[in-house]
Amino acid sequence: MKIWIDIKMPHEPLFFSSIIENYDNFTYQITSRDFAEIKSLLEKYNLPFDIIGNRPTGLSAKRKLLFLHRVLRLFVHVKNYDISMSHSSPWAVYTSLLRRKKSIVFYDNETNPINRNVFRFTSFLFTPEAIPKNVLEDLSGRKTKIIQFNGYKEDIYIADYKPDKAFLSKLPFEDFVTIRPENLDVLYLKYSQRKTIVPEIIRKLSENSINILYLPRTDFERSLADGFDNVFMPEEALNGLDICYYSSAVLSGSGTIGREASRLGTPAVSFFPGNLLAVDRKLIKDKALYYSRDPSKIIKFINQSGARDRNTNQSKKVKEEVMHKLDAILETIK
Q: From first to last of its 334 residues, what are the pLDDT tens digits of the chain?
A: 999 999 999 999 999 999 999 999 999 999 999 988 999 999 999 999 999 998 777 667 888 899 999 999 999 999 999 999 999 999 999 999 999 999 999 999 999 989 999 999 999 999 999 999 999 999 998 789 999 999 999 999 999 999 999 999 999 999 999 999 998 776 655 556 678 999 999 999 999 999 999 999 989 999 999 999 999 999 988 999 999 999 999 999 989 999 999 999 999 999 998 889 999 999 999 999 999 999 999 999 999 987 677 889 999 999 999 999 999 999 999 7
Q: Are 292 and 269 in contact (CB under 8 A)?
A: yes
Q: For the segment 251-263, what is each residue's pLDDT rounded down to a tens digit? A: 999 899 999 999 9
Residue 42 CA to residue 48 CA, distance in Å, equals: 7
252 membership: H or E segment, kind and range: strand 249-252
Cα 7 → chain centroid? 11
Distance CA(278)–CA(100), nearest Å, equals 32
Question: In 3D, which of 103, 113, 51 has the Cα closest to residue 77?
Answer: 51
Show the domains of the chain with their CATH numbers.
2-159+315-333 (3.40.50.2000), 167-304 (3.40.50.2000)
Please state, in angstroms and as integers, the Cα–Cα distance from residue 283 to each residue in 12, 213, 276, 290, 311, following that order.
21, 24, 11, 8, 16
**Element holding 2 (H helix, E strand):** strand 2-7
Closest-CA residue to 176 (of 254, 226, 242): 242
For residues 152 and 128, the answer to whether their CB atoms sit within 8 Å is: yes
The per-residue pLDDT for range 194-246, each reduced to its tens digit, is 789 999 999 999 999 999 999 999 899 999 999 999 999 999 889 999 999 99
| Residue 41 contacts residue 13 (beta carbons within 8 Å) | yes
The residues, ordered by sequence, that sit 6+ positions from 160 with a Cβ below 8 Å of its Cβ are: 18, 21, 319
Q: What is the DSSP string of 271-329?
A: --SSPPPHHHHHHHHTTSSEE-S-HHHHHHHHHH--------HHHHHHHHHHHHHHHHH
The helix or strand, by DSSP H or E, that contains position 207, with its residue range, turns out to be helix 198-207
